[in-house]
């Protein structure tokens, strides 16, 4: 086993949170108005995204950020736009950069997620906290209180808040085993969580790439024009297909290398996908992504 693979394995406990932001405070998150009363909170430098929808009954927040500072920025930005209270929070999956801010939105009537998201938050709590602190800093979870979803579902959940309809849909294991999308049919918009990245290689260690590819195909079935990823800028259908094409190309290349007799160590060290070299985390994560595909093939 090469020194590169050894290093990857030894640092795995830290790497699980490298899908988060670049260093905190690198830049200010951006608020993007996508539709009337529908907003995306786009993390700086590829950090986690959130979203919020303002209705005449109150605000629905999608993902609450992780570090206290970013969660409070999100809350502040919402208040700058509306005086309506937050009445629902939706967590797209369990990773801390999307859920650890739940405690700052306790005024919500419900915090909603897939049942596996709540399960993971409970069963992986200790490891999850330690990994989070390793990435940010030892004080990043000062005053942190794990705040769990109060309502979960298995397959689908339909909601109507004011005049806005929401469809929460579980598409199977992808980025994690609890990913959901939030579909706004009238607005033709999907909040895809970390099932979708734009301009950035994905973090794949908690999921299953083969199933993830199928989930992305299913997302295309929804009648939508705009897709908000978990990390990166909002995309159109071309952006969604471009991300799925990355997995297709990655899988094809790993398969070809295996047929050439290359072992896992050789694949990790030598794989190259020049088409994606300008994507963030290309150098750092391409080998890890290839490793995941190789192991799934075995």
pLDDT single digits (tens) 127-151:
888 888 877 777 777 888 999 999 9
What pLDDT does residue 140 have? 73
Give the closest residue to 98 by CA, choosing from 148, 133, 127, 64: 64
pLDDT tens, position by position, 231-290:
999 999 999 999 999 999 999 999 999 999 999 999 999 999 999 999 999 999 999 999
Under 8 Å between Cβ of 41 and 87: no
Distance CA 162, CA 183 (A): 16
Question: Is residue 132, in this structure, part of any structural domain at all?
Answer: yes
What pLDDT does residue 26 have? 52
Question: Is residue 168, in this structure, part of any structural domain at all?
Answer: yes
Question: Is residue 285, in this structure, part of any structural domain at all?
Answer: no
Average confidence (pLDDT) over 75-103 = 97
What pLDDT does residue 21 have? 39
Average confidence (pLDDT) over 158-173 = 97
Question: Is residue 236, in this structure, part of any structural domain at all?
Answer: yes
Residue 6 pLDDT exceeds 60: no
Question: Is residue 180, in this structure, part of any structural domain at all?
Answer: yes
pLDDT tens, position by position, 10-46:
444 344 444 343 344 457 899 999 999 999 999 998 8
Number of domains in the chain: 1
Structure token digits, residue 249: 């190309």
Under 8 Å between Cβ of 40 and 31: yes
Residue 208 pLDDT exceeds 50: yes
Q: What is the pTM of this model?
A: 0.90
What pLDDT does residue 129 have? 82
Distance CA 144, CA 68 (A): 8
Question: Is residue 131, in this structure, part of any structural domain at all?
Answer: yes
Residues 6+ apart with CB under 8 A from 132: 17, 66, 96, 100, 140, 141
For the chain, the 3-state helix, strand and coil shares in percent, each to the nearest 5, are 40, 25, 35
Tell how far CA 192 is from the center of its chain. Answer: 8
Residues 6+ apart with CB under 8 A from 259: none
**E strand segments, 219-282:** 226-231
Structure token digits, residue 121: 């938050």
Residues 6+ apart with CB under 8 A from 43: 21, 29, 49, 50, 70, 231
Helix (H, G, I), strand (E, B) or coil at 153: strand
Encode burial over 120-130: b for 16+ CB neighbours within 10 A, e otherwise: bbeeeeeebbe
Compare 58 and 22 and report the one with higher pLDDT. 58
Distance CA 134, CA 130 (A): 6
Residue 1 pLDDT exceeds 60: no
What pLDDT does residue 134 have? 79
Question: Is residue 226, in this structure, part of any structural domain at all?
Answer: yes
Under 8 Å between Cβ of 231 and 19: yes
pLDDT tens, position by position, 93-136:
999 999 999 999 999 999 999 999 999 999 998 888 888 887 77
Provide the 10 A C-beta neighbour count for residue 208. 18
Domain that includes residue 202, residue range: 21-243
Question: Is residue 133, in this structure, part of any structural domain at all?
Answer: yes
Q: What is the CATH number of the domain that holds 206?
A: 3.60.15.10
Under 8 Å between Cβ of 42 and 233: yes
């Amino acid at each position: 086993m090469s020194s590169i693979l050894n290093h990857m394995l030894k640092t795995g406990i830290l790497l699980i949170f490298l899908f988060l932001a670049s260093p905190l405070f690198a830049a200010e998150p951006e608020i993007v108005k996508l539709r009337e009363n529908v907003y995306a909170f786009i993390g700086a430098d590829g950090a986690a995204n959130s979203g919020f929808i303002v209705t005449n009954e109150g605000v629905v927040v999608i993902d609450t950020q992780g570090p206290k500072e970013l969660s409070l920025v999100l809350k502040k930005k919402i208040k700058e736009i509306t005086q309506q209270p937050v009445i629902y929070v939706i967590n797209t999956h369990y990773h801390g950069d999307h859920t650890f801010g739940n405690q700052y939105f306790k005024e919500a009537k419900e915090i909603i997620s897939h049942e596996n998201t709540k399960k993971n938050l409970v069963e992986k709590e200790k490891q999850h906290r330690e990994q989070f602190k390793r990435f940010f800093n030892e004080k990043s979870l000062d005053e942190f209180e794990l705040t769990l979803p109060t309502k979960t579902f298995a397959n689908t959940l339909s909601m109507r808040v004011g005049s806005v309809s929401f469809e929460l849909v579980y598409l199977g294991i992808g980025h994690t085993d609890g990913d959901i999308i939030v579909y706004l049919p009238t607005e033709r918009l999907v909040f895809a969580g970390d099932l979708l990245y734009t301009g950035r290689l994905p973090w794949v260690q908690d999921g299953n790439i083969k199933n993830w590819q199928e989930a992305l195909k299913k997302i295309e079935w929804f009648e939508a024009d705009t897709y908000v990823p978990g990390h990166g800028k909002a995309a159109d259908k071309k952006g969604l297909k471009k991300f799925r094409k990355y997995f297709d190309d990655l899988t094809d290349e790993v398969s070809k290398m295996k047929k050439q007799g290359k072992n896992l160590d050789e694949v990790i060290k030598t794989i190259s996908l020049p088409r994606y070299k300008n994507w963030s985390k290309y150098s750092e994560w391409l080998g890890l992504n290839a490793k995941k595909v190789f192991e799934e093939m075995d």
